[in-house]
Amino acid sequence: MQIIPINELKELHGLLPLLPMLYVGWTNGILSPTEILRLQEYVNSQTWLTTQEQGYLKSWLNPQNPPAEAQRHDWLSVIRDYSDGTSVVGLADFGRYIARRVDARLDEEVNRALEFVEGTLGARGREAIRQLIPQTYDLPVLVESQSPSFNVAQLTQTLDGQHAAFKQRLRQLLTTPQFAYHQSHDSEAYRADVLRWLEQLADQGLGSAAYPAAFGGRDDIAQYLVTMEMLGHHDLSLLVKFGVQFGLFGSSILALGTRHHHERYLAAVGNLQLLGGFGMTESGHGSNVRGLETTATFDAATDEFIIHTPTESARKAYIGNAARDGEMLVVFARLITQGEDYGISPFLVPIRDGQGKLMDGVRIVDHGDKVGLNGVDNGRVSFEYVRIPRENLLNRFADVAADGTYSSPIDKESRRFFTMLGTLVGGRIGIGLTSLSVAKNALTIAIRYANRRRQFGRNDQPETLLIDYKTHQRRLLPPLAQTIALDFALHGLLDQYAASVKQPMQADTRTIETLAAGLKARSSWNATHIVQAAREATGAQGYLAENQLGRLRQDCDIFTTFEGDNTVLMQLVAKERLVALGKEMRGGKIVGVLLRQLWRGIRPKKSHKITSSHLRDSRFHKRLFAAREQTRVLALAKRLQQLVKQGADPTDAQIAAQNDFIRLADALIDRELLAHFLRGVAGTKDPAVRAVLDKLASLFALWQIEQDAAWFMENGYLSRRKSRAIRAEVESLCEELRYQALHVVNGFAIPDALLAAPIGTR
Amino acid sequence: MQIIPINELKELHGLLPLLPMLYVGWTNGILSPTEILRLQEYVNSQTWLTTQEQGYLKSWLNPQNPPAEAQRHDWLSVIRDYSDGTSVVGLADFGRYIARRVDARLDEEVNRALEFVEGTLGARGREAIRQLIPQTYDLPVLVESQSPSFNVAQLTQTLDGQHAAFKQRLRQLLTTPQFAYHQSHDSEAYRADVLRWLEQLADQGLGSAAYPAAFGGRDDIAQYLVTMEMLGHHDLSLLVKFGVQFGLFGSSILALGTRHHHERYLAAVGNLQLLGGFGMTESGHGSNVRGLETTATFDAATDEFIIHTPTESARKAYIGNAARDGEMLVVFARLITQGEDYGISPFLVPIRDGQGKLMDGVRIVDHGDKVGLNGVDNGRVSFEYVRIPRENLLNRFADVAADGTYSSPIDKESRRFFTMLGTLVGGRIGIGLTSLSVAKNALTIAIRYANRRRQFGRNDQPETLLIDYKTHQRRLLPPLAQTIALDFALHGLLDQYAASVKQPMQADTRTIETLAAGLKARSSWNATHIVQAAREATGAQGYLAENQLGRLRQDCDIFTTFEGDNTVLMQLVAKERLVALGKEMRGGKIVGVLLRQLWRGIRPKKSHKITSSHLRDSRFHKRLFAAREQTRVLALAKRLQQLVKQGADPTDAQIAAQNDFIRLADALIDRELLAHFLRGVAGTKDPAVRAVLDKLASLFALWQIEQDAAWFMENGYLSRRKSRAIRAEVESLCEELRYQALHVVNGFAIPDALLAAPIGTR
């Protein structure tokens, strides 16, 4: 077959953009005869090629008579003329670059053609480019720049958002010498340090920020929660003590008490004159707090409640601030009056007098050493007929008159109970935000180390940076992307929650509660996984205590359990989604026919596109995430319906389908995270910052899709080929982001004094 | 349509076994018209049905005219006649049970038919059965027994194997009061305790077990490694100190030294007269030990080597036994003589005199607090022109004459180096075994707790056991199955290794080294994941220090890094597999044509079967595992070949394909684990023990397939439907095994005193 001379080849402007793909396709032998025929047909319809160009192209697409070695060699020479160090991300992109260089036609149609050919080829990304320009292995022709592609301070501003000034103030406060980390192994000394720190925070008015101005506060729940977020960069024992004192204890008085409680206690809680704790959990009743057994029996004769621990399993357990410092607890106990049990209500119960002596009938056992958080004095508390005045009932949702008559504005016991639990929502957002900070600390340490430490490599060159290893990128970069997704989502939720506190009547409380539960779970798991990944990624260095990863792991680990066990919270998310489905169907009842209709409605438009631009398109991600959630909620509804129809008790049905509950919740949280991330990207003004965030959003979405690829394939949402392409695209994104990741973590702006890890300093 | 009276129905013996499936199929509406037509066709070919039965059956398989409600009701009545409390695992199984009850024909053909129908239906497992017999939600008709289905002591015997008596001896030794766990936070006191324990072990002759009898040992490497395994149940600081002293230090003298070293030192190492350490790792050179910088320059004038640390990155780092107790190190340094650098060699370097004073020129910095293992005295050691006599060169593989002439039986420096590293193999097996014990401790604690702790449930019943929750089962049971796979595999490897030590000429050293690397990595990751899962699964209880999970996590975590970073080891496994592929192809060179042929050879026979018996069939698992490994090694070979052809440096090519290396290694290790597991099952004489192990083997295999389902689908080894069925089968197996799991961990026979966790006692 005829070989076209190089000079003539260079004039075929319409063909030049296709040469990279032709070369890779033939050289790798990745074109099957069928694919070649498909390309041949396609060529006929391309009006942007001259007849001569079409002719040549067809002659090059003959499986019986492939282009000669010499011809391919000439293609390569021409291609290399255009490899001048510009960074291109794939074959179609390279084609576009060549088209621009030779002023060839480059409109929608040509672009579509390039993407079609790239898609048919299936050879994608940088690696294909490297095949064309092998010296890129030696020279940094297409290697990403190690200097930042964006202004790091701008990223910090984007992430800090409206809280920028306040966060900056806290970064400064927490790096002052009085907040230097505690060093000894002596728990008592550590507890004393934590209490001292807590006093500093109270002095700054940070603890009472959420309380009404009338009681020493600033009516600013957002500031209170952002303080929790910032404490996540520092010491988690302090964070927990802070949350117990001002959040669980103080907010309970605010939310469950009435004016006389507020007047008497709130200011003292805010300025630490009164230290307290939150007595909900019992030894036998952790997640299932409706099973609490402690009793509060009203004695009309003395106008008192008698608080009592009737069994071993009723002992209040893991109560923060109880073992050493607390003087009062909000105790949740079954309110019994006139012989009737009215369910669980909150009571203020003094546990120590002003001199630190235990009150009569109160017994407290120090829980002693814990896995972490040993700066917090957790204790197990039991009561032996402890008498408190009637007014110590926090009586916003239920009251008892002097004669023992019970009254409540909320009829149903279960609704009363869940209204009471609503006070936990703020705490869950706080734990989500704190976990976010833990993840950022660990990522900063590990990613900085990976950009310094070298190990192995070619003999003729410096050893390879850890971050250049693909396994290292996979370990750290997708979790980095998820962390930023969580950052946007938690701050979005925080705004919504703060607004709801100001205007409760207009708030969508259920959505906020659901999201708070789901994001708390995801964020605490994210932190746990990242700390572990960071420890492994920093090798023996990461195992030295001085590099903090051990401390972070031991301290943050319990976040997956407390303020609601993650698995229980995820079930709650799924349940709420089912309720919403019921409402969508109006009757509140899920009817088979309707189900089937909805089902058909969500069948995916199948797209086999595997070009980079399609795979990175957020519309593609959103469509998949929405379809997954919808499919799962409908499938779960149907399954539950069947189980119940066949006689299963609803509780048993839920246990039988429990894994499906979790899978539905995962899908919902992913969808929310992506939506918040994309909103955050869209709201970013600085184009360079937006560009890097945009890539991270794609990485987050594709990584999640990759992890669930089996399900997407099973349900017909992904072809086998596309699933493979997604895996490769995740790797490409990791590679593109590997140096920028360093600047992204720098954008978290965590002061070195807070990281306190020699391998993680700036 | 005609409804057949119940009496007549009961006489249709051929049809009765099909009724459960017919009922479930029609009731759930899961039969599509196409599937019904498929069943219709099938019916025609079934000679075991009478003509009358065929007629009825066809009339019930008409999508235009489905069986009437009343007809289905009658089916159900008949079906329930046979639900007498016997446990059946699925619809086909139920069919077989009915066939036996009515003495219907039940041969190969009928059985195939039942499985075909079950497969077509896709409604599988216990849940389908429950639809038929709803009262199983209330009554334990089909609920698994909570008492053991096997003799627990028999399981212990199976797992302990030939080491049963020795293991029992160690269990007793380690539960004597002198081995009671250290309680304080004082590292110095802890280190003293560990040294005291070490002395006890030495007194029992356990440290020198692997040394030749001539030097105080027993020539028994297996006993030495089983001691490491048993120490994994106790304190990991002791384990590490034991491994450093007797393994790294002593075995180096044995393996790298010659007779005069053995005579002079071995007995003293074994009885702790001489404490030592292993000076390989340097600050700048962790995984890449070929980059070590420490020098050992020969001075012929004094007949001495001068050991020197030329740079900061050359400091020997994390050296166990160095900060407090060690008197001598095996130091790996570049041997320089007559102006020539001959590469890395081992030297015996005294670091302290008999009084514990540092030798001249030796500087040691205590690494201080670590994340865990604080009973081990790790130090950073540097040398300033420290002189040692020439005879302190461990000269088995290289020697220097008095005049400075270098000689070695091994020509190539790199081969010399890797021969030297071979001494690490035993240690890797030891760490794999130790990690196994850690996993068993954590599983025992979490699974016992899950069989005690109750939370939530129906109002009319006791709360639900944690182990009854599906998420809980998923968290704990597949990892339990993998742990037993590791048990069999590590002990298989141990036997091979022990034999190779006895008869080195007949040993397949490469296979042993590869497997040691891969199993060390998998076992340490398994332990890390399980400890984390156990912590989360035991809630706040698991966060109390007294329940040991925090200690286990902090201590075992570094196992993923030391004795070879897991990621580096996995790459080594994959590399060896590539080398083996090259050998298979004889020429040692991978040729495209051959590749393509091999490729075709492994294309899977597609099987769409989704019956339980097929999915649990080990032949199915083995086929999939083998095909995956073969596909991956060929794909990787092809990819590397292409990269190199296009000009990539081999090191760069390996970095580009790094994730594929890891995926190949994973496939290889899975295949090995399954093979060892099945061999273990086959070798188990007790049928009840074999039955539970067989189920665990299926769970292990299906769980691994499920985790990699996307890849299997992408490559055409699994259909979408089958992938779904596998997920459901994993859940069924978890449910079936949930109570037996308690007895399985009891079979690990870990004494309560070693678990030392109040929530995990027997």
Q: Could B646 and A291 be called an inter-chain contact, meaning their C-beta atoms sit closer than 8 Å?
A: no
d(CA B157, CA B166): 12
Which of B124, B282, B596, B658 to mutate to test binding with chain A, by most A CBs within 10 Å of its CB?
Answer: B658
d(CA A51, CA A272): 86
**B565 vs A: CB within 8 A:** yes
pLDDT at A450: 96
CATH 1.20.140.10 residue ranges for chain B: 425-760
Which residues on chain A are in Cβ contact (under 8 Å) with B666?
A: none
Q: Could A540 and B281 be called an inter-chain contact, meaning their C-beta atoms sit closer than 8 Å?
A: yes
Residue B84 has pLDDT above 70, yes or no: no
Task: Judge residue B370's burial from the number of C-beta atoms within 10 Å of its C-beta, 0-12 exposed, 13-18 middle, 19 or more buried.
Answer: buried
Contact A544, A455 (CB under 8 A): no
Q: Which residues pair with A278 in a beta bridge?
A: A330
Mean pLDDT rounded to a whole number for chain B:
89
Q: Could B463 and A544 be called an inter-chain contact, meaning their C-beta atoms sit closer than 8 Å?
A: no
Q: Mean pLDDT: which of A19-23, A452-456, B657-661 is highest? A: B657-661
Please state the rounded mean pLDDT for residues A412-422: 82
CATH 2.40.110.10 residue ranges for chain B: 277-421
Closest to B134 (Cα-Cα) out of A23, A291, A652, A538: A652
Residue B375 has pLDDT above 70, yes or no: yes
**A414 vs B: CB within 8 A:** no
Which residues on chain B are in Cβ contact (under 8 Å) with A286?
A: 455, 539-540
Query: What's A557's DSSP letter?
Result: G
Please state, for a pLDDT cut of 70, what percent of chain B lies above it: 92
Q: Are strands B399-400 and B406-407 parallel, antiparallel or unpaired?
A: antiparallel
Q: Which residue is closest to B291 within chain A, CA to CA?
A: A456
Which of B460, B632, B646 to mutate to test binding with chain A, by most A CBs within 10 Å of its CB?
Answer: B646
Residue B135 has pLDDT above 80, yes or no: no
Which residues have CB under 8 Å from A718's CB, separation 6+? A624, A705, A709, A712, A726
Listed by number, the residues of chain B in 636-655 with a beta carbon closer than 8 Å to a beta carbon of chain A are 642-643, 646-649, 651-652, 655
Minimum-distance CB partner of B651 among A458, A545, A651: A458
Q: Could B550 and A371 be called an inter-chain contact, meaning their C-beta atoms sit closer than 8 Å?
A: yes
Closest to B715 (Cα-Cα) out of B636, B654, B632, B643: B632
Residue A69: pLDDT band (50, 70, 90) is confident
pLDDT tens for B146-170 read: 899 999 999 999 999 999 999 999 9
pLDDT at B610: 87
Query: What CATH class has A155-270?
Result: mainly alpha
Q: Which residue is closest to A714 within chain B, CA to CA?
A: B720
Please state the rounded mean pLDDT for residues B186-199: 97
pLDDT tens for B535-550 read: 999 999 999 999 999 9
Listed by number, the residues of chain A in 120-139 with a beta carbon closer than 8 Å to a beta carbon of chain B are 127, 130-131, 134-135, 137-138
Task: Judge residue B758's burial from the number of C-beta atoms within 10 Å of its C-beta, 0-12 exposed, 13-18 middle, 19 or more buried.
Answer: middle
Which of B313, B371, B463, B606 to mutate to test binding with chain A, by most A CBs within 10 Å of its CB?
Answer: B371
Residue A140: pLDDT band (50, 70, 90) is very low
Q: Are strands A328-337 and A340-350 parallel, antiparallel or unpaired?
A: antiparallel
pLDDT tens for A451-465 read: 999 888 877 788 899
CATH number, domain A425-760: 1.20.140.10
Q: How far is B707 from chain A (nearest CA, A)?
A: 9
pLDDT at B137: 34
Size of interface A-B (CB pairs under 8 A): 217
Closest to A434 (Cα-Cα) out of A724, A603, A202, A238: A238
Residue B26: pLDDT band (50, 70, 90) is confident
Q: Could A371 and B291 be called an inter-chain contact, meaning their C-beta atoms sit closer than 8 Å?
A: no
Please state the rounded mean pLDDT for residues A514-541: 97
Listed by number, the residues of chain A in 367-406 with a beta carbon closer than 8 Å to a beta carbon of chain B are 367-372
pTM recorded for the entire structure: 0.86
Which residues on chain A are in Cβ contact (under 8 Å) with B380?
A: none
Q: Could A456 and B651 be called an inter-chain contact, meaning their C-beta atoms sit closer than 8 Å?
A: yes
d(CA A508, CA A506): 7
DSSP B555-596: HHGGGGTSSS-HHHHHHHHHHHHHHHHHHHTSSSS--HHHHH
Task: Tokens for A79, please give them.
Answer: 């291609």
Query: What CATH class has A278-414?
Result: mainly beta
Q: How far is A724 from chain B (nearest CA, A)?
A: 7
CATH number, domain B277-421: 2.40.110.10
**A70 vs B: CB within 8 A:** no
Residue A142 has pLDDT above 50, yes or no: no
Residue A309: pLDDT band (50, 70, 90) is very high
Q: Could B539 and A131 be called an inter-chain contact, meaning their C-beta atoms sit closer than 8 Å?
A: no
d(CA B182, CA B195): 12
pLDDT tens for A150-160 read: 999 999 999 99
Q: Could A649 and B458 be called an inter-chain contact, meaning their C-beta atoms sit closer than 8 Å?
A: yes
pLDDT tens for B495-512 read: 999 999 998 888 888 999
**Residue linked to tokens 């990863």:** A549
Which residues on chain A are in Cβ contact (under 8 Å) with B560?
A: 536
Residue A666 has pLDDT above 60, yes or no: yes
Minimum-distance CB partner of A550 among B138, B458, B554: B554
d(CA B427, CA B432): 9
Q: How far is B558 from chain A (nearest CA, A)?
A: 7
Minimum-distance CB partner of A659 among B471, B643, B715: B471
Q: Could A713 and B723 be called an inter-chain contact, meaning their C-beta atoms sit closer than 8 Å?
A: yes
Torsion sign, CA atoms A715, A717, A722, A726: negative
Contact B328, B350 (CB under 8 A): yes
Closest to B278 (Cα-Cα) out of B420, B400, B414, B163: B420
pLDDT tens for A188-205 read: 999 999 999 999 999 999
d(CA B557, CA A494): 35
Q: Which strands make up the sheet holding A362-366, listed edge to edge?
A: A316-319, A379-383, A362-366
DSSP A253-319: HHHHS-HHHIIIIIHHHHTTSS-EEEE--BTTBSS-GGG---EEEEETTTTEEEEE--SGGGSEEEE
pLDDT tens for B558-604 read: 999 999 999 999 999 999 999 988 887 755 455 554 555 555 555 55
Listed by number, the residues of chain A in 579-608 with a beta carbon closer than 8 Å to a beta carbon of chain B are none
Mean pLDDT rounded to a whole number for chain A:
89
pLDDT at B377: 97
Which of A287-296, B28-37, B318-327 has the least mean pLDDT? B28-37
**A288 vs B: CB within 8 A:** yes
Q: Is A563 a catalytic residue?
A: yes
pLDDT at A598: 54
Residue A165 has pLDDT above 70, yes or no: yes
Q: Could B137 and A464 be called an inter-chain contact, meaning their C-beta atoms sit closer than 8 Å?
A: no
Q: Which H/E stretch holds residue B495?
A: helix B470-502
Please state the rounded mean pLDDT for residues B699-706: 98
Residue A596: pLDDT band (50, 70, 90) is low
Per residue, the 3-state secondary structure of B250-266, as one string, reads: HHHHHHHCCHHHHHHHH
pLDDT at B595: 53
Closest to A19 (Cα-Cα) out of A62, A53, A65: A53
Residue A92: pLDDT band (50, 70, 90) is confident
Residue B136: pLDDT band (50, 70, 90) is very low
Residue A586: pLDDT band (50, 70, 90) is low
Top-confidence residue, A761 or B420: A761
Q: Could B649 and A458 be called an inter-chain contact, meaning their C-beta atoms sit closer than 8 Å?
A: yes
pLDDT at A33: 66
d(CA B492, CA B480): 19
Please state the rounded mean pLDDT for residues A541-567: 96
pLDDT at A136: 39
Q: Could B647 and A566 be called an inter-chain contact, meaning their C-beta atoms sit closer than 8 Å?
A: no
Contact B277, B241 (CB under 8 A): no
Catalytic residue chosen out of the listed positions A229, A304, A513, A563: A563
**A682 vs B: CB within 8 A:** no
d(CA A26, CA A552): 52
d(CA B167, CA B56): 64
Q: Could B470 and A659 be called an inter-chain contact, meaning their C-beta atoms sit closer than 8 Å?
A: yes
Residue A135 has pLDDT above 70, yes or no: no
**Residue linked to tokens 């149940």:** B233
First and final C-alpha spacing in chain B = 61
d(CA A177, CA A670): 41
CATH 2.40.110.10 residue ranges for chain A: 278-414
Which residues on chain B are in Cβ contact (under 8 Å) with A470?
A: 655-656, 658-659
**A662 vs B: CB within 8 A:** yes
Residue B182 has pLDDT above 90, yes or no: yes
Which residues on chain B are in Cβ contact (under 8 Å) with A319?
A: none
pLDDT at A16: 84
pLDDT at A130: 63
Q: Could A543 and B536 be called an inter-chain contact, meaning their C-beta atoms sit closer than 8 Å?
A: no
Residue A143: pLDDT band (50, 70, 90) is very low
Catalytic residue chosen out of the listed positions B293, B563, B672, B706: B563
Q: How far is A308 from chain B (nearest CA, A)?
A: 22
Q: How far is CA B575 from CA B489, B544, B580, B581, B646, in A?
A: 21, 43, 9, 10, 20
**A281 vs B: CB within 8 A:** yes
d(CA A588, CA A586): 5
Q: Which residue is closest to B468 within chain A, CA to CA?
A: A655
